[in-house]
Every structure is written in C-alpha cells, then in structure tokens.
Structure 1
C-alpha cells in the first residue's frame, strides 16, 4: 500500500507531537504547519491525501484556509478541528464540503477513525458488501429452490436488485458475475412459475395486483383521500431504475407505501398501459370498446385512446372526480406542462404519462451512440437518472410538492437486455414484436417460450380463429431464419419488452407524501 500523506495544520502543533508519533507508528507520513497561509502553500507544493485543519488560528482563519484549499484542490478531504461548538461554524464548514468535523481536545483514536472513514471507506465498504453478499448468496440460492408465490417472487427480485446496485458501487467484477448467474437462474425459474400459474390468476380469489386491477386496487384508495393526487406513469420503468430515481424524488417527497405489481402479458405498452387505464383485460377492451381497441395488425397508434379508456373506467366505478390526463412525448410538451402546472391544483386527480424510458430503449436499438452509453444495466440506470435529474418531469414533481399533491409513481412494464436469439417462423400477418408473437401457424423453439394456444384463456384477443401467442423467456428474442445473422447482430444487447422476465413483469407502484 502506498504511504498515506497527511498535512496537519495547527498554531499549537508542538502540543500535538504525541498524536503525530502515534500516526507515524501506524505508517502514516505527517507534515505539519502552524498557519492557514503555510497550509495553502504546502497544498500547492505537495500532494496530500488528507488535511487536518484547526479552525481558530492567528492570521487567516481555518474557514478561510479551507475555502482556498478547496478552490485549489476540490477533491482533497479536509477534516476541520475546533474548540468551538457554535452552530454557524459547523454550518460554514459543512457547507464548504469538509470530510469530517472534530471538537477539541481530540485523541489519537478519533484521528485514526477519521482517517479510516475518509481514506479506507471504499475498501471497508467493498469488503463488507462482498462478505454480506457471499452470505446472502446462499440464502438466495435456497430461496430460488423454494419460492412458489407471486409475493415471494416480488421479494426475491427486489433482493437481487438491492445486491446488484450495492455490488456495482464497489466494482467487484467477480461478485457481479456471480450475481448475474443468479439473475439468469432466477429468470429461468420465474418463467416456469409464470407458465404454471399465470392463467389461474384470472380465476383466483387472491390474485396479484395486475395492470387491469392497478387502478381499482392501489390508485383508487389514494384518490379517495383528501387532497389532490398526481399519478405519474413513466413508461418502461424497471424496478432497478425506480430505485436510482427514488433518492432524487426523496428530496421532495417521503415514500409512505410501495407495492410491487405484475404487468399483464404481453408486457407491451398497447396491452399493459391500456389495461391500466381501462381497468380491463385486452379481450374485454376489444369486446366492450371496439372503437378504442387496436390489435397488432391494425393500422395506426395503439395507445391513442388512454384518456377515453380512463374516462370509461371512472364512469364504471361511479366516481365523481375532477381530473385531467396528459401525455408527454417530447421535451417541448414536458416544458409546457411544467410551466403551467399550477393550473392542475384544483383537480382531484392529474394523470401524467411520461414517455422517455421507452424512447431511450428504442434509441439503444437504433443509435450506435446510445448503444455505447447504455451498454449494460448499470449504464442504463445511470442514463435514466441523468435524464430524470434534467427533465421537466422533475420540475413538475417539485411543483407538485409545493402545491401539496400526493404523488403516485408507477409504470406499465419493464424491459430486459436481450442476448440470445430464438428462431421463429410465422405467416405474413404475424406481429413484429421481438419478445412476443401472435399469429397463425407459428413454429418456434418450445423450451424458449411460453406458448398459449387459446388466447381467451389469458384474456387476449384473437386476430384470427387459429391465432396463438408465444412469449419469449429469459434473455431470448425472436428472430426469423431469413437474413438471420444481420437481424441477430442488430438486436442483440438491446432492451426489449413483451415477454416473460422479472424485469418486465414485476414493476413498481409507490405512494409519496410531500415533505
């Protein structure tokens, strides 16, 4: 290990000789000086790992020296040491981004603890995280063999997300590889669970909350409470992406409830999001509202009637609400709503569909630069967070907080990074999605899909009498035999949706109160 270099600044430095000897015995190299001016010159001349800085010195004060040091070397950790416990000094020091704050008299062990905290922090966190995951790995492996309910799968998936985000912080490639293998195994088992149980959920007395019951089960109880509600549906938002956005949202809102729910199949916008707003399964939408529903092979946009579907659901539920619906698909429309959001404060319910993550996933398919920027799940999360922090959506959430809105955040389905092609053959009317297909005479690899020969069993419409559906499992995506290699090369390592995976089906719903 390289020798750690410390600069200790105190006008009574001679009295601290025992402390300095203690640190030198611990193999730290300590330089000393007696004034803020000397400290600034020393930092100019030499590279230190950390500075201990007395606040109360003759000449320029410790706070003034701190400001100068931070201007020259903003990433250099500075520990402020002072006799004073006055609040304004602490606030000044903390506002100047000190690494730590110690009150005199300090003992050598306090200094050592501060060094460990600031210089060994990453290593200690890494060791603790790795050790904890190694213990948890065995528990997750046992859970995978036992998990057998939709609630248990939601819990297990959130555990995997927790460790994925924790391990990415320490950048341990070996541990990440082990976790990825666990995720792959989990998705394989989850696919079998869905194939065995999904059809029965529609006749169950206790089904999970799904797309078509989300409004009645989770949104409606919040709307019935006092005060305005802002419902934000961010398209394609996976649970791991919500986890990284949550911290930013938490600056303005306190989370009071989180309820994972299940997207219906196909995990595609025209099915899942229309089901949210209509409160109906796709075959019911087609039967009751043929003028609003569009099948895969129909011309035109498939999600143009969400507002009408929601109006009909509100009417069916007998609700007397003042509500508005907004769909944001561009920066311009987002800014327009942000600048006029105060007009929503008299609504009982404001519904906001925000299309960005969907555009991001499609851009990853179509644009090489986005493929580079979102090459894996970690980068995909980072790109989503960067967008959110600079988006009109964050401005809207800030305004909603000031106006006292309760905030509901959810999505329609997630996405998965597809890696393995699965050959499929269909007729000219077969749907085009890469993670599900519907059509006649489909030929496919049975082990790689969940096949539904009678769509009405899972409340899906049939385009033709002999139509069936197939859903890709795990990380597979459908590819036709003709022009196979080009097709596979183009779509491999892109984010797709429509099939069966933890990432696509188990998705977030959160209730937040303004801070």
Structure 2
C-alpha cells in the first residue's frame, strides 16, 4: 500500500498553477487536476483523496455548489477554498458549508505547502515533536525527583506529568506511554515518602506558613470568603467529587471558549475520602475539630458509606460563615446532585439560584463513575486505562448538567464569581497488599481504621495516634493505616478473588499525587 498522499486541485485556470503543482509533486504528493466542479465530483466518487484545493469562482458549477456535493460524498474530506473573492459573505458561506481552510489568490507556493503539511502531515509532525519534547523533558523531571522539593514544586511536577498524559492522548501510539507511566509511578513513590515525612508537621503550622500547602480546610477561607466580602456578584462554589487533576484538565479544554480560567492547586487531607475531605472543606476545620466543636454534625458512626457521613455539609458551611461574621441576605443555597434528572432540574433553575449571594453545588457523577468501574465490566471495557478514563470523563462532562450550568452562567450572569474544585482524586490501583484486622475494622480499600490493623509497612502509612493527625478517634486504641502509591488492601478471606476483583480499579483514601494534589479553579466569563 502506497504512503503517498493524494491531492485533487479543482480550478478552471489550472494551467496557471503548474509551478505549484510541480512543487507538491517534488515534495512527494500525488496531484490530480480538473477544471470544473462536475469532473471533481465524479473523480471524488471514483477514487480516494486526502485533500482538495477548490476554486470558488469557476465557469459552470461554482465552488460552493461543488463543495456541498463533495461533502455529501465524503463529509470528512478536507477541502481548502481558493478564491479571488474577499467578500465576508463568501467566507461565511464557505465556513457554514464546512470548508476546512480558506486561501485568497494569488497564492504562493509556501502557502500551499503549509496547508498540505497542516492537513496531511500535521498529526505526524505534532507527534514527532511531542516525542522529542518529552524525551528532552524526561531528564529534567527525573533530576527534580532526585532532589528535595517543596509542596508547590510537587504540584507543578504532577501538573506537568498530567499535561504530558493529555498530550499523549492526542497522539495514538507515540511509543513513550510506558515510559511516562513508569516515571509517574516513580514520582508517586517519592511523593509518598514526602507526605509521610511532612504531613504531621503541616497540621501543626499556621495557615499562612509558606512551607504548609493549602489544605482542605483552607479552601473556603482562601477562595470563597474574599469574594463574598467583595459582594460584586453571586458566588458559585462547585465541588466535583473524586475529580483528578488530569480529568479537570480535560474538562478545562471545553470551558476555555466561555471562561478565562485561573487554576491553582491544593493538597487534600488524609484519608483522601469524602467523609473526611469534603466535610473538612465545608466546615473549614479538620475532622477532629468538627467532631469536637460540632459533634451533632459529625456522623462518624463507623459506617463506610461516604454519603451517609456527609449529610450536614450545608450546616457546616453555615457555621463557617457565621464564624467569619459573613451575613448573607438570603442565606446559602446548597444542592447535591446525585442523579441525572435532579441535575437537569438544577440546570433549568440555575438563573433563579443566581439571585442568591452564594450557591454551593456538589456533583457526585465522577465519584460514581470511579466506583462503578470495578463492578460493571462494560465500564471497564469503555475505560480500560487512564487515557480512556479521561476520555469518558470528558464525554460525561460534555453532556452533563454541570457543563450546562456553567455555560448558562457565562452567557447570562457574567458577573458570577465561580470557584470549582474537588474533595479528592482517585488512583488506579494495580498492587494488592494483605491486611489483617478484627471484624470491626473498616472495609475501605485505600485506608483502614481499627484495633491492631496489620499491613506491610512498605505499602502503608501508619497513624498510631489519630489526634496527632487531626482525625477522629472513633474509640479507644483505634489506629489508621493509609495506603501509599497504587496499593490497595485485601483481607486474607477469599484473598485471590478480591485481589483480582479490585486490581485495576480506581480507588481513593490513600497517598498518591492523583488523590492528594488537586485543582481549584476560578472561572470568569469571557
């Protein structure tokens, strides 16, 4: 099979373009020529072409009419309009009829060659440069991992790795996916050590200490409260449960048309689970502080159901604003979107919500997607790896009520102050680790609490005294163990069944970049 790319050039003055055609042939392109639209349509129906140059003004069938017929035969065939006519109406009609590009005569050889490179070789050229750029940057990232890093440097390094993952998603079979995956695994190993060495100290530091990362309890104080004090428009605070940085980056690509986006980073608290992290965000307090100051609002009754332990987020937020002496004219409006129908209802009412000073919206779809993947084979088939998981998230977001709400706010409420973040991420678990405990020990796969919980210390971070880590005690002699990197805990009973069942599942609660280094974005309507 020939690798030659074939071009059809349609122009009733084709003889004047012979120098351009010879240049393209010299560059290895095959070029067929015709002088009218009828012959062009017939030829497109008979043989495949990779690109068409089409004159707009020809005797007989005109360029726009020819374009419509060609698109009926092959809607994906790129067609470049070449014309002397610079009228805006002609350009708009060509765009409306799905023209791929537009050149005005006289065209020079460089223009023609550039268009060919763009449409015929663009993907390969971009992939080659991406490959070269990553190889160049690989050593820089590896050197960073060998030295000490502060929390902001860790956030920047993880963001860079995530950006490379998205770049590789755009180029199939670039050949370096395994190398990037190995580098991320190495980074997670070093990151786990970094967190283990520093996490306890962060909790003892003042909020404004530069060595302390922004943590879950700091989010509303740092990003939401100042905007409420400005009182220059409604403040929307969106929390997308279980959204990783790479997933947010994929979603950002769709939002750039409507918003200017300022992305920042923060570290989720441990365990990176909804019960702890999201309650902490809304309360502006660590879990042990919530339990101490608002025992009626901390439902830490030992159940592992995250949703049952996050029933009082609005009340915790009200208490936080009360402590900050922020009085809202109509109070906080809070909604939690768990199912599609309710999400559509809120989307249809979002302009009504915009009459309030503050609206808090929790979106559970991404978390449900992560947990369902290990239980439904069809989801694992749709998203067999992290690249496909990002694609699935982007597809969900494209059709989601969240996307609809954001677009409506951009168009109808341009003064809305929008903060969007997550409570924790999720890591793809590939390595099991045996865990021992009594029947009262929790069942979570990435962290456990109980008496005498035993796991391999190389795979876990031990929390002997929960008070030191601002965690609820949950009873006498209770300890926490938190999985590191991509390990997940499995009990000895039916060990091999559960080892295989949960291998290659997305879980959260542990220490990894994907779970802890989280995006927080401010969106301003364009």
Relative to the length of structure 1, the TM-score reads: 0.97
Q: Distance in 2 between matches of 1:74 and 1:499?
A: 48
CA separation in 2, counterparts of 1:372 and 1:430?
Answer: 33
**What is the number of residues matched between the two proteins?**
514
Shift of residue 320, structure 1, vs aligned partner: 1.0
Q: Deviations over 1:109-146 (max 9, x none)?
A: 32122111110001100110000000000100001112
Partner of 1:484: 495
Query: Residue 220 of structure 1 aligns with which residue?
Result: 225
Residue from 306, 316, 321 that aligns with 1:309: 316
Please give the alpha-carbon distance, in whole angstroms, between the structure 2 residues aligned to 1:388 and 1:299. Answer: 28
What is the rounded CA distance, in whole Å, between the counterparts of 2:496 and 2:25 in structure 1?
Answer: 63
For residue 31 of structure 2, what is the aligned residue in structure 1? Answer: 30
Residues 490 and 439 of structure 1: CA distance in aligned 2, closer, same or farther (over 3 Å): same
| Equivalent of 1:297 in 294, 297, 302 | 302
CA deviations 1:454-497 (Å, max 9, x no partner) are 11111001112211111101110000111100011111111000
CA contact (8 A) 2:304 2:443 kept: no
Tell whether 2:204 aligns with 1:199. Answer: no
Structure 2 partner of 1:171: 172
Q: How does 1:326-475 map to 2 (within 5 A)?
A: 326-401=335-410, 402-404=412-414, 405-475=416-486
Distance 1:82 1:43, change over 3 A: same
- Cα distance in structure 1, aligned partners of 2:377 and 2:204: 45
2-side partners of 1:32 and 1:83: how far apart? 19
Q: Tell me whether 1:263 sits opposite 2:273 in the alignment.
A: no
Hey, what's the Cα distance between the residues in 2 that align with 1:49 and 1:153? 45
What residue is the counterpart of 2:134 in the other structure? Answer: 133
Residues 448 and 476, structure 1, Cα contact 8 Å, conserved in 2: yes
Q: Secondary structure of the equivalent of 2:140?
A: helix
Q: Distance in 1 between matches of 2:84 and 2:201?
A: 69
Matching of residue 41 in structure 1 with residue 46 in structure 2: no
SS at match of 2:408: helix
Unmatched runs of 5 consecutive residues or more in structure 2: none
Deviation at 1:299, TM superposition (A): 8.4
Q: Deviation at 1:296?
A: 5.6
Task: State whether residues 227 and 348 of structure 1, in contact with CA within 8 Å, keep that contact through their aligned partners in structure 2.
Answer: yes
| 2:59 corresponds to 1:58 | yes
- Whether the aligned pair in 2 keeps the contact of 1:419 and 1:493 (CA below 8 Å) is yes
User: Larger deviation: 276-285 or 169-178?
Assistant: 169-178
The structural deviation recorded for 1:173 is 5.2
Report deviation, 1:59: 1.7
Q: More displaced, 266-275 or 64-73?
A: 64-73
Q: Distance in 2 between the 1:28 and 1:479 partners?
A: 59
In 2, distance between residues paired with 1:440 and 1:469? 9
State the distance in 2 between where 1:10 and 1:147 align.
64
SS state of the match for residue 446, structure 1?
A: coil
RMSD: 1.4
TM-score normalised to structure 2 length = 0.95
Q: Does 1:280 align with 2:289?
A: no
Deviation at 1:101, TM superposition (A): 1.6
Whole-angstrom CA distance in 2 between matches of 1:447 and 1:27: 57
Judge which range, 383-392 or 221-230, deviates more: 221-230
Deviations 1:83-116 (A, max 9, x none): 1222222222233332322111112232122111
Q: Is the 8 A contact 1:296 1:431 kept in 2?
A: no
Q: Is the 8 A contact 1:99 1:118 kept in 2?
A: no
Looking at structure 2, the residues matched to 179 and 353 of structure 1 have their Cα atoms a distance apart, in angstroms, of 33
Q: Is the 8 A contact 2:223 2:419 kept in 1?
A: no
Distance 1:166 1:12 in 2: 42
State the partner residue of 2:236: 230
Structure 1 Cα separation of the partners of residues 265 and 448 of structure 2: 26
Q: For the residues of structure 2 that align with 1:433 and 1:175, how far apart are their CA atoms?
A: 34
Give 1:23 shift.
2.2
- CA gap 1:296/1:149 in 2 versus in 1, 3 angstroms: farther
1:414-460 C-alpha deviation (Å, 9 max, x unpaired): 00010100111011111111000111111110011111111111100
**2:243/2:425 contact within 8 Å kept:** yes
Q: For residues 355 and 156 of structure 1, what CA distance do their matches in structure 2 show?
A: 28
Query: Hey, what's the Cα distance between the residues in 2 that align with 1:86 and 1:177?
Result: 51
SS class of match (1:174): coil
Query: 1:168–1:176: 8 Å Cα contact kept in structure 2?
Result: no
- Would the aligned equivalents of 1:240 and 1:381 in 2 still touch at CA under 8 Å? yes
CA distance in 1, matches of 2:72, 2:240: 40
- The answer to whether structure 1 residue 242 and structure 2 residue 240 are counterparts is no
In the alignment, is residue 145 of structure 1 matched against residue 146 of structure 2? yes
Distance (Å, rounded) in 1 between the aligned partners of 2:501 and 2:227 = 44
Deviation of the 1:250 alpha carbon: 2.0
Q: Give the stretch that moved more between structures: 424-433 or 216-225.
A: 216-225
In 1, Cα distance between the equivalents of 2:159 and 2:447? Answer: 25
The alignment partner of 2:384 has SS state of: coil
Question: Aligned with 1:23: secondary structure?
Answer: helix
